[in-house]
Amino acid sequence: MTCDGRREPVITIDGPAGAGKSTAARALARRLGFRLLDTGAMYRALAWAVREAGLAPEDTPALRAMLDATTVALDGDHVLVNGRDVTGEIRAPAIGELTSVLTMLRPVRDKMTPMQRTLAADGGVVLEGRDTGSVVCPDADVKFYLDATLDARARRRREELMERGVTVDLDHVREEVARRDRQDMGRAIAPLVRPADAVVVDTTGLDEARVLERLMDAVERARCSTRS
């Protein structure tokens, strides 16, 4: 809560793969002293659970039963599935591929969206993902949409993979990022869109400090208009 009794704002950050959402959301939450809600990590955690259970995503009855028995929690930078820390395991490429499939399924969305809304309800939170401002929290106090050129996003993605010891050709990464764009924007359920009231930040050519500066400026403007 703020000093005058109003809750702190709910802030959403959406955008395509490689736009710098995760880095920006983490930095913004740290600067504001807010909680960070990485919705993508939560979906990856469910994908990990589905893979561990050996389920086929198209087996809807089995999937629903597993979802009903599965809890996903965030503890700082750690992601827990039924109390087990799976933070490192959910970043495997195979989990990412399965996540892309699961996010298009209604039972998975029905599980995750209410959970994310509940976690954001008290305010003082930064949500990061692809539908946080359009579906999860359409009434968020401040919405951002981060974007960058395809080449810039592919380079960033390749750098992330190399930091994890994965060597991959830049052209291949570019094709994968473009494919993910088509998938995210074309899916029937909760497609990636730019909310009409979102502040758009093109991160092409901007370092992390400049991106954070632009986000903070927008947050402060929103806070000032709320107080007036």
Residue pLDDT tens, the chain, 228 long: 443 446 789 999 999 999 999 999 999 999 999 999 999 999 999 999 999 999 999 999 999 999 999 999 998 889 999 999 999 999 888 898 899 899 999 999 999 999 999 999 999 999 999 999 999 999 999 999 999 999 999 999 999 888 888 888 999 999 999 998 998 999 999 999 999 999 999 999 999 999 999 999 999 988 776 554
What per-residue string of b and e applies to 31-50 under the rule 16 or more CB within 10 Å gives b? ebebbbbbbbbbbbbbbbbb
- pLDDT for position 225: 63
Domains of the chain: 1-34+123-228 (3.40.50.300), 38-122 (3.40.50.300)
**Could you tell me if 200 and 147 are in contact, meaning their C-beta atoms sit under 8 angstroms apart?**
yes
DSSP state of 7: P
- pLDDT for position 2: 42
124: tokens are 């003082």
Q: Give the pTM.
A: 0.90
**Could you tell me if 141 and 153 are in contact, meaning their C-beta atoms sit under 8 angstroms apart?**
no
**Could you tell me if 88 and 80 are in contact, meaning their C-beta atoms sit under 8 angstroms apart?**
no
Smallest CA-to-CA distance from 43 within 190, 219, 206, 227 is with 190
